[in-house]
């Protein structure tokens, strides 16, 4: 009876997810919150929300489940969206801003793992690890002899696009490898000791490698275009752990196929899970199926952060990872 009473006093959190997205460590969260999940019900989501979620103040958005203005219009009491993702481009930010809904994201929980993968992709592209692996497994070593030389990471000039928690973890790692770092972001960050470029094309012209760690917004959509890739040059390498649409993907494919840039390491694509087939035969391209954030450790950290944000909200304390909405 006492346990039931406690359960009834817990704050209610609406779980919003596409059926393919599971909420990791759900049991841990349900010790502190009553989780209202339309996916547990037979009812269509919109009628579930209209019937059961009218007084819900906090929503947990799992994966990249799209939250449109129509979804928001079904939730008149909503004050907070806790996104279980680093990127929040699947949420209608303008409508959230208009309705005064705060958003938190998970970049800080994921930053180290995403940075590790960015550096892993970069080393793979430069040292041709995946290509060499295919060479050995395909029995080509005895037939063709030496595999082509790779290129050294130390000493490279790396341009980081987006210098939030992920960009700064990438920089920390690459400084240790002996790279020089410069960055581009919406504005200069006084606490960052590296050279700032207000313009991505200028950053590309001064870099051997571009690593994309920024959010996808209207301004950053296709920011890596023909001009930027031309400035990066024939030996240049692009690593993308942000979102596919940061790059004009058709243009990237042309640049890679025609040898107008040196290589790419891509964890994200414009039309996931579809990846341009032209990339499959290129040994200077390393492909990963949007997995940068997924380690058991980062999922644990995600639940800690999610819980901390929700607890802060329900006790009127400052949120742990508030997203600044700039429109």
* 301 contacts ligand O=CC(=O)O (rule: CB under 6 A): no
Nearer to ligand O=CC(=O)O, 87 or 159 (CB): 87
- Between the alpha carbon of residue 287 and those of residues 32, 61, 295, the distances in Å are 39, 27, 18
207 or 240: whose CB is closer to ligand O=CC(=O)O?
A: 240
Residue whose entry in the numeric block shows the structure tokens 């606490």: 191
* For residue 185, cis peptide bond before it (omega within 30 degrees of 0): no
Burial of 57 (0-12, 13-18, 19+ CB in 10 A): middle
User: Angle at CA 142, nearest 5°, toward 137 and 147?
Assistant: 70
Residue from 293, 303, 305, 323 in contact with ligand O=CC(=O)O (CB under 6 A): 293
Whether residue 179 contacts residue 208, with contact meaning beta carbons closer than 8 Å, is answered with no
CB of 243 to ligand O=CC(=O)O, least distance (A): 7
Residue (236 or 242) nearer to ligand O=CC(=O)O, CB:
242
The secondary element (H helix, E strand) that includes residue 174 is helix 165-176
Please identify, using beta-carbon distances, which residue of 110 and 163 lies nearer to ligand O=CC(=O)O: 110
Question: Residue 293 pairs with which residues in a beta bridge?
Answer: none
**Residue 263 near residue 237, CB atoms below 8 Å:** yes
Of 65, 85, 220, 284, the one binding ligand O=CC(=O)O (CB under 6 A) is 85
Evaluate whether 72 touches 50 at the Cβ level (below 8 Å): no
Is 272 an annotated catalytic residue?
yes
> Which x/- pattern, by CB under 6 A, does the window 94-133 give for ligand O=CC(=O)O?
------------x---x-----------------------
Q: Min. distance of Cβ 57 from ligand O=CC(=O)O in angstroms? A: 24
The residue from 43, 219, 235, 272 that is catalytic is: 272
Q: What residues line the site for ligand O=CC(=O)O (CB under 6 A)?
A: 85-87, 106, 110, 293
């Amino acid at each position: 009876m006492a346990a039931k009473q406690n359960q009834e006093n817990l704050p209610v959190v609406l779980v919003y997810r596409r059926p393919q997205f599971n909420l990791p460590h759900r049991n841990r969260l349900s010790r502190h919150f009553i989780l209202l999940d339309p996916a547990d019900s037979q009812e269509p989501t919109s009628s579930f929300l209209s019937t059961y979620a009218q007084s819900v103040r906090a929503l947990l958005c799992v994966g990249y489940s799209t939250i449109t203005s129509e979804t928001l219009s079904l939730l008149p009491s909503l004050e907070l969206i806790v996104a279980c993702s680093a990127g929040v481009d699947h949420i209608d930010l303008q409508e959230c801003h208009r309705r005064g809904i705060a958003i938190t994201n998970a970049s800080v929980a994921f930053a180290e793992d995403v940075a590790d993968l960015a550096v892993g992709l970069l080393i793979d592209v430069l040292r041709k690890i995946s290509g060499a692996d295919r060479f050995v497994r395909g029995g080509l070593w005895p037939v063709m002899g030496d595999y082509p030389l790779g290129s050294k990471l130390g000493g490279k000039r790396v341009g980081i696009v987006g210098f939030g928690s992920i960009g700064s973890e990438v920089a920390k790692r690459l400084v240790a490898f002996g790279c020089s770092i410069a960055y581009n972001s919406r504005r200069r960050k006084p606490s960052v000791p590296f050279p700032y470029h207000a313009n991505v094309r200028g950053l590309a012209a001064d870099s051997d490698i571009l690593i994309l760690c920024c959010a996808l917004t209207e301004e950053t959509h296709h920011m890596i275009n023909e001009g930027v890739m031309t400035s990066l040059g024939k030996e240049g390498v692009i690593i993308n752990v942000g979102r596919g649409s940061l790059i004009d993907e058709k243009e990237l494919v042309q640049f890679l196929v025609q040898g107008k840039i040196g290589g790419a390491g891509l964890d994200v694509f414009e039309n996931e899970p579809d990846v341009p087939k032209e990339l499959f035969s290129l040994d200077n391209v390393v492909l990963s199926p949007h997995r940068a954030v997924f380690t058991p450790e980062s999922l644990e950290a995600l639940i800690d952060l999610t819980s901390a944000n929700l607890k802060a909200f329900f006790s009127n304390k400052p949120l742990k990872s508030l997203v600044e909405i700039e429109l």
